[in-house]
Structure formats: C-alpha cells, structure tokens
Amino acid sequence: MRHPVRALAQIAQITLINLRSLPQRLGTSLVVVVGIAGVVGVLVSVLAMGEGFRHTLASTGRPGRVIMLRAGSDAELSSGVDRDQTTLLAALPAIARDGSGRPLASAELVVMVDLPRKGESHPNNVPFRGVQPGAFAIRDELRLVEGRAFRRGVREVIVGRKAAQQFAGLDVGSRIAFRDSDWTVVGTFATGGDVHESEIWADAEVAMSAFRRTGYQSMTATLADGSQAGLAALTAAIRRDPRLSINVLREPEYYAKQAGVLARLITVLGYTVAAFMAIGATFGALNCMYSAIASRQVEIATLRAIGFGGAPVVVSVMIEALLLALVGGAAGGALAYVYCDGASLSTLNFSTFSQVAFDFRVTPALLGQGLAWALLIGAAGGLLPAIRAARLPVTTALRAV
C-alpha cells in the first residue's frame, strides 16, 4: 500500500506547487478561463432558448383535453372543421358537460394578423383566435390580469400577457385594425406561460364575420373520461360517423409536435457554434499549459531527479487544467443564468409560421452540460502538455538553468 499512498502524496505536493504559481501565470491562465467561459456561456444560452421554446409549447394543454382537426392535418392553420361537424362533435357522449348540461367544447377559428414588435415597424404574424364561450370553462388555467373579458357579438379582444409585452398596440384600451375592422383591447390574460399567452382572443362568430370565414379550424374539448379508455371511446365514435373526418389528439401531444422542428434547429445551432468555439478554447488551453510547462521545466526536472514519478506529474498538470476549466465553465454558466434565465423573446414557429413569445430557461441540466463541456475542453487541452512534462528528460531540463 506504500506505493499508491506515495503517489497520491506526490500528486498533492506537485499540484499545490502548480496552484501556488498561478498568480505568476495569471495572463495565460485567464486565456483558458475566459475562452471556456465563452464556450459554456454561448452553449447554455442557446440551449436555454430551445428549452424555453419547448417548455412553452409542451406546457400548453392538459391531458384531459383534446384538440380535433380535419383528418390529415397536423396544425390548426391547415385544418378546417365545418359548422355542422362541430355541432355533431360537441354532442358526442365522450365530451364532458358542465353543471347545466352544456358540452365543454369550443369550436375555434385561428388566423394570422400583422403586428409590429415594440420599437419596430415591419409586421409579424401574430395568432388571432376566435373562441366560443366554452373556451373559458375548458381552459380553467386562464385568468385575466388586467381589464375584463370581451363581450359576445362585439369587436373586442383580450390579449395574452406575452403578446402584450412583445407587440405594439396591445395595451388595454387600445384600438387595433384587422381586415378593415377596428377592435378594442379590453383585457390581458395569462395562462401559466404557455403558448396561448402569445395569442389574441375574440368572439368566434364576430371573428368569422370580420375575416369572412364560414367554418372553424379546430375544436377543443374536455373528455368526460380523461383516461386512455375515454380517448378511445371518442375516437371510435368519430370513426363510426361517416359525416366526420376528424383526427383527435390530446392537447399536450399536439403542442409537443408543434415544438419539434424549431427546438431541434436551435439545439443543432447551439452545439455547432459551441463546437467551433470549443476548438478555439482547446488550443488556448494547450498554449497555456505548454507555456506553464516551459516556465517550470527546471522545477519539474528537479522534482523528477529527487524521486518524483512521471505519473504524478501528468496527473498534477491535468488537475490544474481541469480546475481552470471548471472555473471557466462555472463563470460561463453563471453569466448565462444571470443574463438569460427568464429573458423574454418571440420567434417564428416554423410549424405554424406565427410568432411565439417565450422565456429562456436555464435549467440545472443545462448548467451541468456546460460544466461537462468545460471539463472535456480542459482535459483535451491539458493532456498533451501533461505527457510532455512527464517525458521531459531530466538532464535536458537541468541544462536550461
């Protein structure tokens, strides 16, 4: 047992010597720290954007609710449900009823309207959703945070909290113009941060008249039985009726699919940018560690001459590189958390070609991933210099005195 204990003691002693000399090599050490901090900060920030977008859509809806689209459609904008079909769907026994026996269902119209972001002039696609009265009973997570609900039969709208923050002209009391018609903003609502907070809502019948539509895009409903059996009963009832050509999805499943394309694109972009930056940071670490070895080659040779082994030298250099990387990774993660977590952004959802507002989410998993990247860069940058230090001939190094 004496040899392992001796090796550990040598590693500890050499590592302490290395760390004590860090102030003398502050400039080159900061190159490593700053380079790795940049890699981790960019990686975590970009992935936090994807995580925030995915969370916003994935948190939309409840398992006990379903969205019904035209068969073959994978999004509301490409769907179409006739008035007669919505009446038949609402009457199905698998749809829940309220205390008065009315079906908990809302046939809905979804169109895109043009609004500029605050401080900008060019228009963006913002979802405008016409809903039936049942929409408020179905989506019990909705709460008004300012103003009041719109009145039926009147050109009034309520806007999602994030839409009001991102786009111009959506303050309560404002008037906005769509399709040669003026609408009054009478309230702002919140739905727990989900995708509906990026929308504008109005009475479905008024919206259909203003946008010259004769049918709906979808129907959202609460299941009488939220289990798989209840969903199967609804699907079977629709298939038995030849008048209905409808596809049924649970709300979370539908919105998770909508998030897929952009979330994957953001993830690929984040890893690609971070990979290129990591190459640069690795070369920076190599340069720093080679410089450290060159400045201490006499010291290392002396240690080798008095009996210190090559392996402890390798391990001590690797520890120094990993500690610098860890400091850089922690700094990058901290900066990403401070400046990005909770920051609001709106971007184009490629599945619907509409703007979706969401918040960046810097999660513990992303911070852990950033630290893992930092340690990999540190290991890659420290390995070759560590091997060189261990293989440095003692006589050659001592001649440099």
DSSP track, 371-388: HHHHHHHHHHHHHHHHHH
Question: Between 32 and 400, where is the model more confident?
Answer: 32
pLDDT number for residue 2: 44
- Give the torsion sign (CA, 294, 297, 298, 299): positive
Mean pLDDT of 360-364: 89
Mean pLDDT of 201-216: 92
Cross-strand bridge partners of residue 44: none
pLDDT number for residue 1: 39
Instruction: Report phi then psi at 377, rounded to 5.
Output: -65, -45
pLDDT number for residue 152: 93
Instruction: Report phi then psi at 203, rounded to 5.
Output: -65, 130
Question: Between 19 and 184, where is the model more confident?
Answer: 184
pLDDT over 80 at 107, yes or no: yes
Q: How confident is the model at residue 295 (pLDDT cuts 50, 70, 90)?
A: low
Q: How confident is the model at residue 52 (pLDDT cuts 50, 70, 90)?
A: confident
Question: Between 362 and 317, where is the model more confident?
Answer: 362
The two structure tokens encoding residue 26: 């502050």
Q: How confident is the model at residue 239 (pLDDT cuts 50, 70, 90)?
A: very high
Question: Between 391 and 243, where is the model more confident?
Answer: 243
Q: How far apart are CA 54 and CA 77, in angstroms?
A: 20
pTM for this model (two decimals):
0.72
- Report the helix count and the strand count for the chain, using DSSP H and E: 12, 12
Mean pLDDT of 79-106: 92
pLDDT over 60 at 92, yes or no: yes
Q: How confident is the model at residue 310 (pLDDT cuts 50, 70, 90)?
A: low
Q: How far apart are CA 218 and CA 385, in angstroms?
A: 63
pLDDT number for residue 392: 65
pLDDT number for residue 76: 86
Instruction: From residue 90, give the alpha-carbon distance in Å to each of 97, 173, 303.
Output: 10, 34, 84
- Give the torsion sign (CA, 385, 391, 396, 401): positive
For residue range 247-265, what is the model confidence (pLDDT) as tens digits?
Answer: 999 988 888 777 666 677 7
- Give the torsion sign (CA, 221, 225, 228, 230): negative
For residue range 127-172, what is the model confidence (pLDDT) as tens digits?
Answer: 999 999 999 999 989 999 999 999 999 999 999 998 998 888 899 9
pLDDT number for residue 401: 47
pLDDT number for residue 378: 84
pLDDT number for residue 298: 62
The runs of H, that is alpha helices, within 241-358 are: 251-295, 297-305, 310-340
237: helix, coil or strand? helix
Tell me the average pLDDT of the chain. 82
pLDDT number for residue 275: 83
pLDDT number for residue 22: 63
Asked if residue 117 lies in contact with residue 169, where contact means CB atoms within 8 angstroms, the answer is no
- In degrees, rounded to 5, the angle at the alpha carbon of residue 236 between the alpha carbons of residues 231 and 240 is 155
pLDDT number for residue 367: 93
Asked if residue 223 lies in contact with residue 231, where contact means CB atoms within 8 angstroms, the answer is yes
Q: Which segment of 46-55, 90-99, 345-354 scores lowest on mean pLDDT?
A: 345-354
pLDDT number for residue 151: 93
The two structure tokens encoding residue 88: 């038949």
pLDDT over 50 at 62, yes or no: yes
Structural domain boundaries of the chain? 2-58+258-398, 72-244
pLDDT number for residue 75: 84
